[in-house]
Amino acid sequence: MNAPDRPIPHALTIAGSDSGGGAGIQADLKTFSALGAYGMSVITALTAQNTRGVSAVHPVPPEFVHAQLDAVFSDIRIDSVKLGMLANAQIVSAVAESLQRWQPRFVVVDTVMIAKGGHALLLPDAVAGIREQLLPLASLITPNLPEAAALLDCAEAQTEDEMLCQGEALLALGAKAVLMKGGHLPGDECPDWLLVAGQEPLSFPARRIPTRHTHGTGCTLSAALAALRPQCADWAATVQHAKAWLLQAIANAERLQVGHGIGPVHH
Ligand code: PLP
């Protein structure tokens, strides 16, 4: 992606570790490298995890999350930040405070709540912190339909019209842009919708892919958005590029033989 005369983007992930390497920090750093960015990580939680699921979570103390954030921001130029698993309300607050202090240009908030295997990656009482402290700092948020419903405290969208209404409601809560991911819509069509404040919504049509390699796709997409945004003109171009790249990573996964459960994509 990088033209030789362009600066290499510096991308930071603030997220949880996946010992199995398919999601979280590990997926993010692989994605940053694949898309020409220099990657950094602030780890919020360790998970003991493989392709069959999460067996344990060990959150990092919020003061230590702060210490990692101060270490990277005080020394290194950071062009974009991606937020993933934040585990609890204290970590949400530590991250919000730090983003307010350091004001990075692009902040992609992946509103991670529950792993595909059903394990909670965010305590339920931390959802309010994401809504009140992080949405107003977000350049883009990337909720799937259950996450959008949790943030808005309403029923999950079943149609594209409902998706659009909920996207508008999330903009009204302060996010500058929202990528509503349609993977949970009923049926074979599962478009994503991009809503940017003050612009017409844009649809990215998609059909469900018959694959078992979906572990970490949400993490990978939001990391790709953070890596690519400094290299693209706007969010529409960034989403287009990131989604095309993710489709290829899902196709590449057919060559991987990792684990016995929901397999990861190949970055
Ligand atoms: N583990 C970590 C540390 C994550 O951050 C995430 C997603 O954000 C997941 C697991 C979720 O993985 P899955 O795609 O299987 O739901």
Domains annotated for the chain, with CATH where assigned, are 10-255 (3.40.1190.20)
Kindly report the number of other CB atoms within 10 A of residue 43's CB atom: 17
Pocket test for ligand 1, best of 28, 42, 85, 110 (most atoms within 8 A of CB): 85
Q: Which of 116, 214, 243, 259 is catalytic?
A: 214
66 — phi, psi (to 5°)?
-60, -45
| Beta pairing class for 38-50 and 106-109 | unpaired
> Is 28's C-beta closer than 6 angstroms to any atom of ligand 1?
no
What's the token pair of residue 179? Answer: 């990528």
Q: Is 198 exposed, middle or buried (0-12, 13-18, 19+ CB in 10 A)?
A: exposed
> Is 223's C-beta closer than 6 angstroms to any atom of ligand 1?
no
Q: Is 218 a catalytic residue?
A: yes
Mean pLDDT value of segment 117-127: 94
> Is 221's C-beta closer than 6 angstroms to any atom of ligand 1?
no
In contact, 58 and 45? CB cutoff 8 Å: yes
Alpha helix ranges (H) inside 35-77: 62-73
Q: Which has the higher per-residue pLDDT, 172 or 260? A: 172
53-59 sheet: strands from edge to edge: 53-59, 38-50, 10-18, 80-83, 106-109, 140-141, 177-180, 192-196, 202-204
pTM: 0.96
Which numbered atom of ligand 1 lies nearest the CA of 18? 3
Kindly report, residue by residue over 220-244, the tens digit of the pLDDT: 999 999 999 999 999 999 999 999 9
> What is residue 1's predicted lDDT score, i.e. its pLDDT?
60
**What distance in Å separates the CA atoms of residue 137 and residue 189, rounded to the nearest whole number?**
31
> Is 264's C-beta closer than 6 angstroms to any atom of ligand 1?
no
Q: Is 214 a catalytic residue?
A: yes
Kindly report, residue by residue over 171-216, the tens digit of the pLDDT: 999 999 999 999 999 999 999 999 999 999 999 999 998 888 889 9
Q: Is 216 a catalytic residue?
A: yes
Q: Which of 133, 125, 75 is nearest to 99 (CA)?
A: 133
Please report the sign of the dihedral spanned by the C-alpha atoms of residue 237, residue 239, residue 244, residue 248.
positive
> What is residue 254's predicted lDDT score, i.e. its pLDDT?
87
> What is residue 180's predicted lDDT score, i.e. its pLDDT?
98
Work out the angle between the directed axes of helices 145-152 and 160-172 (0-180°, nearest 10).
Answer: 50
Cα of 86 from ligand 1 centre, angstroms: 11
Cα of 215 from ligand 1 centre, angstroms: 7
